[in-house]
Amino acid sequence: MSSPTRCYITAHSLFCSLGDNTKEIISQVQSINQSNYEAYLQHLFAQKPYYPLTQNFDSEEQKLYRVIDHVVKACIQEAHLSEEEQKELAIFIGSTAMGISLNEEAYALYYQGKSDQAFNHLGYGYLGDYLETLTHSNHKALLFSTACTSSVNALAYAAKLIASKQIKRALVVGIELFNKATFNGFSSLMLLSKSKIYRPFDKQSDGIILGEACSALLLESEPRSAEDFYYKGSKNICDIYSETTSNPSGEPIFHTMDEALRNASLKLSEIDFIKAHATGSENNNTSEANAIALLFEKHGTTTPITALKPLIGHTLGASGTNEIALTLSCLKEGFIPPTLGFQERADGVSFTPLLNPVKRNGKKTNVLFNFVAFGGNTTSLVLSNV
């Protein structure tokens, strides 16, 4: 095997409730703070407690394809990829719901007698075909369905394949759009917040608030700017405690984070902050908090914690690329994003997350990203520009 090379994230794009371009998203992030957060959410949740995209569309089908087109083209444009380079893109997609909103739309029309076709598609491979055609890729797209770790698992594999020179460049797309199945499904599991204020790790935390967003990350073996972050290491495991909850001891999540650090050849003291998964569910408030405490104890030090779901909602399988894209945008602007909504530690939480943006003043940064999924899939990933 040839010696490994690095894998850089040379472009990224995000379309979420904060906006559809980096400038708009950063402006929003910088304008929301602990004082006006609740008012912001009241306005955002006028129709339902959900973080919606900033645009309306004529149909679910139009929405899906326009959103994908938008983030992919933004990424390609940012990197100024040539047509030849686009053909070299290996496509990786991560999502929980994939295109189920299209099937809901098709089924509703059929149920009303307005169509004689009950389904838009069976299986999600068609999304891969669409992206292959959009980019003229010579590669066969691969879709990951590992619930909330889908897109971060896709990213980890893409990065490792580039680092080991199996592929030259990759496009990793995370997509999660509103659909009744997911919204009503989480409701039936009684996991959604009733207070409609997102407060992970907080004493008043009462559950998840879902959101929709789509992101694309471009991965290459060479940086396009001195600020580009690169993949340093990751770990994926299966916590077999329960289908819907993590082991409350936090040990599987702790092992995942610890192994990710080991694979990245980093000590916790070298990590500038941890982006926690922080769903706001009772189980995660316990299990992930315990995991972080175990990590701090093992390494004999602490590091700042932040959580991004109060900004864009829980975007499930796409949360990997969405939250990484958002983090990278904030870091390029010179700050670590805060955890909005937090006021007082929940029982058993031994840390206070960042409450205000922290300026980096051009400092190079190591970040540990954490994601935890239904079905026990747990992934931690380290990015760096040091």
Partner 1 sequence: MYIHQTYQLIEPDAPIATYKQRLSTLCKINLRRANKFNLLAVFGALSCVQNQPLSPNLGIYLATEHGPVESLTNVLEQVTKEDGVVMPFDFLGINTNASFYIAQALNASGKNMVLTSNHLSFEKALQLAYFDLTHHEVDDVLVGKVDASLCFIEPKHRPKGDKNNHDESCWLYANRNAENAIAKIEKIEEFASFEAMKEVYGEQMPTAVSHTFITQDAIRESCLLHVAKDDDGKCIVIEIEGL
Which residues lie below 8 Å from residue 346, measured CB to CB, with a gap of 6+?
201, 202, 203, 205, 285, 289
In the complex, least distance from residue 372 CB atom to partner 1, rounded to whole angstroms: 13
Q: Provide the strand spans (E) within the chain.
A: 8-15, 89-94, 142-144, 169-176, 213-220, 229-238, 273-275, 305-306, 335-336, 358-359, 366-372, 377-384
* CA nearest neighbour of 127 among 137, 148, 141: 141
CB atoms inside a 10 Å sphere around CB 130: 19
Contacts of 300 (CB under 8 A, 6+ apart): none
Asked if 103 touches partner 1 (CB under 8 A), the answer is: yes
| Candidate ranges 35-43, 113-121, 292-300, 339-347; the one touching partner 1 (CB under 8 A) | 113-121
Binding range to partner 1, per CB under 8 A, among 15-23, 125-133, 336-344, 361-369: 125-133
Smallest distance, Å, CB 198 to partner 1? 22
Tokens representing residue 295 in the block: 């990590």
Choosing from 16, 68, 89, 143, the residue that interacts with partner 1 (CB under 8 A) is: 143
Which of 10, 13, 86, 120 binds partner 1 (CB under 8 A)? It is: 120
Of 243, 205, 267, the C-alpha closest to 377 is: 243
Closest approach of partner 1 to the CB of residue 158, in Å: 11
CB 352, CB 208: distance < 8 Å: no
Size of the residue set binding partner 1 (CB under 8 A): 59
Q: How far apart are CA 367 and CA 327, in angstroms?
A: 9
Q: Which of 50, 65, 107, 351 binds partner 1 (CB under 8 A)?
A: 107
Choose the binding region for partner 1 from 187-195, 221-229, 293-301, 320-328 (rule: CB under 8 A): 187-195
Which of 205, 260, 261 is CA-nearest to residue 235? 260
Under the criterion CB under 8 A, does residue 243 sit at the interface with partner 1? yes
Stretch that binds partner 1, among 48-56, 63-71, 234-242, 268-276 (CB under 8 A): 234-242
Q: How far is the CB of 245 from partner 1 (least distance, A)?
A: 12
Tokens linked to 223: 């940086």
CA–CA separation, 336 and 366 (whole Å) = 12
* Non-local CB neighbours of 114 within 8 Å, separated by 6+ positions: none
Nearer to partner 1, 68 or 354 (CB): 68
The reply on whether position 329 binds partner 1 by CB under 8 A is no
CB of 120 to partner 1, least distance (A): 7
Tell me which amino acid residue 350 is: S
Looking at 116, 194, 300, 362, which residue binds partner 1 (CB under 8 A)?
116
Of residues 260 through 289, those in contact with partner 1 by CB under 8 A are none
Residue whose C-alpha is closest to residue 195's, from 38, 18, 35: 38
Stretch touching partner 1 by CB under 8 A, among 34-42, 46-54, 105-113, 347-355: 105-113
Q: Is residue 180 involved in binding partner 1 (CB under 8 A)?
A: yes
With binding defined as CB under 8 A, does residue 5 bind partner 1? no
Separation between Cα atoms, residue 187 and residue 10, nearest integer Å: 38
Between 144 and 173, how does the x/- string for binding to partner 1 read (CB under 8 A)? xxxx-----x---x--xx--x-x-------
Residue for token pair 């922080």 = 278
Of the residues 238, 265, 297, 359, which one makes contact with partner 1 according to CB under 8 A: 238
Beta-bridge partners for 176: 213
Q: Which of residues 193, 287, 377, 380 is near partner 1 by CB under 8 A?
A: 377
Can you give the binding site for partner 1, defined by CB under 8 A?
1, 96, 100, 103-104, 107-108, 111, 116-126, 128-129, 132, 138-147, 153, 157, 160-161, 164, 166, 180-182, 184-189, 236-240, 243-244, 252, 374-377
